[in-house]
Amino acid sequence: MSGISEGISWLTDSAHWHGDDGFPHRIAQHLGYTSLTVVIASAIAIPLGLWIGHTGRLRGLAIALTGALRALPTLGLLTLVVIWRGIGLTPPIVALVVLAIPPLLAGAYAGLESVDRATIDAARAIGMNEWQVLGKVEVPLALPLIIGGLRAAVLQVVATATVAAYIGLGGLGRYLIDGLAVRDYPQMVAGSIVIVVLALVLDGIFAVVQRALSIQR
Amino acid sequence: MIEYRSVAKTFPDGTEAVHDFSLVLPSRSTTVLVGSSGCGKTTLLRMVNRMVDPSSGQVLIDDADVASRNPVELRRSIGYVMQHSGLLPHRKVVDNVATPLRLGGVGRRDARSRALAALETVGLDPTLADRYPGQLSGGQQQRVGVARGLVADPNVLLMDEPFGAVDPIVRAELQQELLHLQRDLGKTIVFVTHDIEEAFLLGDQVVILRKGGEIAQVGTPAQILADPADEFVRSFVGLDRGRRTLRIQEVDGKRVVVDADGRAAGVLA
């Protein structure tokens, strides 16, 4: 257990809490990659998922796509995009977006599919147009599952955004890559602990949001 | 007045729900379409507000073909009450009732006060207005459904087995209230049910349907009982089981009406 305690002393060393290499800056970078990824992935996956769920079209494609994307190894994809586009922010963001799309897409279309057909039929029968059915009935009722997809996506991306450091970018992955390079295991342990805590905190926030949504009805 | 002219409907999967249906439904009266499941009664009802478009033939409201109207606008002008209420579970009762008004462009405050009035019309306690549908009993939810159907004061009200899922006591209550409401409001009601008792109770005109939307008989309940068109109708309305063949028995100087099995049905006034 000395590895853990050494990691904790590395973590609590005030020297590691300021500057460009300090935890606050690395956490900010990490959250920056995560939010950029989730925003881009949501912009692609949620409208697509809503369209599939609302129309019932291309459902087979969505299932196949989410399965196939999930099977792609992020590190391999990252390497591929580096070869294609060179070093920069693009490769890790592309790799992470691909990782985040399946849970977001699944949350959106499964959420819409979970809405009682009779409720949707009734909404139409009392004179809602298709946009009103989507915006006033389907999305509000699917929201817990849509948020659930978002939650899964954020957690996966937070845990995997460490790959950015692999190609020389920042984020909490730096502690793992740098520590490994010089066999500084306490640094790696400290970095891992911060990533885990960050993931748990984000998960907790989503849990509270989801609960608030389900209490409303 | 609603008129069906040689209406037929074949669904994309090949099922022929309605073969060739023609009928006039007089204004300000209740027409009940009654038949077993699969007779096309719900399909016929849904043609009025274009939830189903006929494969051929026309449906006219006051001599205007509904096919010429925008479906969304048309639906907003027609009340619709369905089984299991069809309320939006994420909206409060009062907001559910106000929805047709809001869709029609009525302001929030005005819509709310009219919705509260509609809840009162159907005999619901105003304290329930701010509850969610899931917190109400089945019977209360159906009342909310009726209030929503009536709130925009439509001329035509479509009711698709609205009381089918509530227990018999509550159903009888709701039926009586609908009769009262209709006496005051005089809507053109199209009512679908599989229950012949309900059809005879509520219908000014009763349409008994066979499979494929084929009309077995149209008439007032009395006409149908007095002169059933054929064996199918006799059996459907229960004339073959003796329950409808009543006779009078003298008991202690009073005239008691009994059915063919000798069960008492009531006392002659």
B20-49 residues touching A, CB cutoff 8 A: 46, 49
Residues B87 and B107 placed together within one structural domain of the fold:
yes
Tokens of residue B154, six digits: 């439509």
- Is residue B195 within a helix (H) or strand (E), and if so which, with residue range? none
What φ, ψ does residue A171 adopt, rounded to 5°? Answer: 90, 175
The CA distance from B95 to A144, in Å, is 21
> Region B167-173: what's the mean pLDDT?
92
Average pLDDT (A75-80) is: 86
> Are A45 and A108 a contacting pair, CB within 8 Å?
yes
Element (H, E) at B254: strand B254-258
What percent of chain A is modeled with pLDDT above 70? 98
Q: What is the pLDDT of residue B116?
A: 95
Structure tokens at A134: 């989507």
- Burial class of A12 by CB neighbour count within 10 A (0 to 12, 13 to 18, 19+): exposed
B92 lies within 8 A of chain A by CB? no
Region B243-249: what's the mean pLDDT? 83
**Mean of the per-residue pLDDT values for chain A?**
89
Task: Give pLDDT, residue A217.
Answer: 54
pLDDT tens sequence across B96-145: 999 999 999 999 999 999 999 999 999 999 899 999 999 999 999 999 99
Token code pair at residue B2: 């609603």
pLDDT surpasses 90 at A2: no
Q: What are phi and psi of A22, to 5 degrees?
A: -75, 160
Domain match, B25 and B64 both: yes
Please report how the helices A23-55 and A59-71 are oriented relative to each other, as an axis angle in degrees rounded to 10. 150
- Give the structural domain span for B255: 242-269
Q: Within this chain, do residues B205 and B261 fall inside the same structural domain, yes or no?
A: no
For residues B142 and B91, state if they share a domain: yes
Task: Please report, rounded to a whole number, the percentage of residues in chain A having pLDDT higher than 90.
Answer: 51
Q: How many CB atoms lie within 10 A of CB A40?
A: 16
Q: Do B86 and A129 touch (CB under 8 A)?
A: no
Distance in angstroms (rounded) separating the CA atoms of residues A134 and A142: 10
**Quick one: CA torsion of A176, A181, A187, A188, rounded to 10 degrees?**
30
Position A1 scores a pLDDT of 54
Q: Given B80, B104, B134, which is nearest A125 (Cβ)?
A: B80
Q: A122: which 2 tokens?
A: 């009734």
**B215-219 and B16-25 beta bridge pairing:** unpaired
Confidence of residue B195 (pLDDT cuts 50, 70, 90): very high
Summarised one tens digit per residue, pLDDT across range A40-53 is 999 999 999 999 99
For residues B142 and B260, membership in a common domain is answered with no
- CA nearest to A125, candidates B50, B53, B262: B50
Q: Does A115 touch chain B (CB under 8 A)?
A: no
In the predicted model, is pLDDT for residue A159 greater than 60? yes
B86 in the same domain as B177: yes
> What is the reported pLDDT for A210?
86
User: Are both B207 and B249 inside the same structural domain?
Assistant: no
Strand order in the sheet with B56-61: B16-25, B2-10, B56-61, B64-65
Tokens of B124: 């619901």
Per-residue model confidence (pLDDT) at position A79: 87
| Residues B198 and B3 sit within 8 Å (Cβ to Cβ) | no
Q: CB–CB of B80 and A121 under 8 A?
A: no
Q: Which secondary structure element, helix H or strand E, spans residue B4, and what is its range?
A: strand B2-10
Nearest chain A residue to B89 by CA distance is: A217
> Distances from the Cα of B36 to the Cαs of A98, A120, A200, in angstroms?
52, 25, 57
The answer to whether residues B228 and B259 belong to one domain is no
Given the DSSP bridges, would you call strands B188-193 and B156-160 parallel, antiparallel or unpaired?
Answer: parallel
CA distance A95 to A173: 15
Per-chain mean pLDDT for chain B: 93
Q: In whole angstroms, what is the distance from residue A78 CA to residue A169 CA?
A: 13
What global pTM score does this model have? Answer: 0.85
pLDDT at A170: 85
pLDDT at site B261:
81
**Contact flag B148-A126 (C-beta cutoff 8 Å):** yes
Whether chain A has a CB inside 8 Å of the CB on B251: the answer is no
- CATH for B133: 3.40.50.300
Going across the sheet that includes B78-82, the strands are: B78-82, B156-160, B188-193, B30-34, B205-209, B215-219
* Number of domains present in the structure of chain B: 2
Are A102 and A152 in contact by the 8 Å Cβ rule? The answer is: no
Please report, for residues A19, A168, A182, the alpha-carbon distance to residue A11 in angstroms, rounded to integers and kept in the order given. Answer: 14, 22, 17
Residue in A with minimal Cα distance to B72: A127
Binning pLDDT at 50, 70 and 90, where does residue B82 land? very high
Least confident window among A54-63, A109-118, B111-120, B200-209 = A54-63
Going through A67-122 in order, the beta strands assigned E by DSSP cover none
Q: Calculate the alpha carbon distances from A53 to A46, A103, A106, A112, A153 in Å.
A: 10, 14, 10, 5, 19
In order, the DSSP letters of A123-187 are HHHTT--HHHIIIIIIHHHHHHHHHHHHHHHHHHHHHHTTHHHHTT--STHHHHHHHHHTT-HHH
CA atoms of A214 and A85, how far apart (whole Å)? 44
Q: Which of A124, A129, A217 sits opposite B89 (nearest CB)?
A: A217
> B196 and B246: one domain?
no
Q: Say which range, A59-68, B42-51, B208-217, has the weakest mean pLDDT.
A: A59-68
CB contact under 8 Å between A122 and B86, yes or no, is yes
Q: Measured between beta carbons, which residues in chain A are less than 8 angstroms from residue B72?
A: 127-129
**Same domain assignment for residues B65 and B154:** yes
Return the number of CB contacts < 8 Å for A and B: 56
Dihedral angle over CA of B243, B246, B247, B253, nearest 10: 90
Specify whether the CB–CB gap between B103 and A128 falls below 8 A: yes
- Residue A34 banded pLDDT, cuts 50, 70, 90: very high
Chain A interface includes B165 (CB < 8 A): no
User: What is residue A215's predicted lDDT score, i.e. its pLDDT?
Assistant: 66
Establish if B140 touches chain A: CB-CB under 8 angstroms.
no
Query: Residue A72 has what pLDDT?
Result: 84
Give yes or no: residues B150 and B216 share one domain. yes
- Classified by CATH at the fold level, domain A2-215 comes out as MetI-like fold (1.10.3720)
Burial A44-62 (b: 16+ CB within 10 A, else e): ebbebbbbbbbeeeeeeeb
What pLDDT does B110 receive? 95
Average pLDDT over residues B57-75: 95
Same domain for B12 and B76, yes or no, is: yes
Tell me the average pLDDT across B220-249: 89
